[in-house]
Amino acid sequence: MTTAAIAPAHGGVVDVPARQTAGRHAAAYRSLFERLDAAAVVDLGLHVLEANQRFVRDLAGQRDPVGRNLLDFLHRGGHANLRRQFVRLIQGKRDRVVERVVGLGADDRLVPGTLTAVAVHDHGPMVSTLVVTLRWDESSDAAPGNERRRILTELDARILEGVAAGMPTVKLAVQLYLSKQGVEYHVGTMLKKFKVPNRASLVSRAYSAGVLSPGEWPPKVSPEFIK
Q: What is the DSSP string of the chain?
A: -----EEGGGTSEEPHHHHHHHHHHHHHHHHHHHHSSEEEEE-TT-BEEEE-HHHIIIIITTS--TTSBGGGGB-GGGHHHHHHHHHHHHTTS-S-EEEEEEEE-TTS-EEEEEEEEEEE-SSTTS--EEEEEEEE-TTGGGSGGGS-S--B-HHHHHHHHHHHTT--HHHHHHHTT--HHHHHHHHHHHHHHHT-SSHHHHHHHHHHTTSBPTT-SS--B-GGGB-
Predicted local confidence at residue 83, as pLDDT: 93
CA 70 to chain centre: 9
N-terminal to C-terminal alpha carbon distance within the chain: 68
Predicted local confidence at residue 183, as pLDDT: 95
Predicted local confidence at residue 86, as pLDDT: 96
Per residue of the chain (227 residues), give pLDDT as tens: 443 333 334 444 444 454 555 555 556 556 667 777 899 999 999 999 999 999 999 898 878 999 999 999 998 878 888 999 999 999 999 999 998 888 888 777 778 788 999 999 877 788 999 999 999 876 544 344 444 467 789 999 999 999 999 999 999 999 999 999 999 999 999 998 888 899 998 998 888 777 888 778 899 998 878 88
Q: Any idea which fold 37-140 has?
A: Beta-Lactamase (3.30.450)
Measure the CA–CA gap between 157 and 176, rounded to whole angstroms. Answer: 11
Predicted local confidence at residue 34, as pLDDT: 74
**In 10 A of CB 49, how many CB atoms?**
13
**Rounded to two decimals, what is the model's pTM?**
0.59
CATH, range 145-225: 1.10.10.10
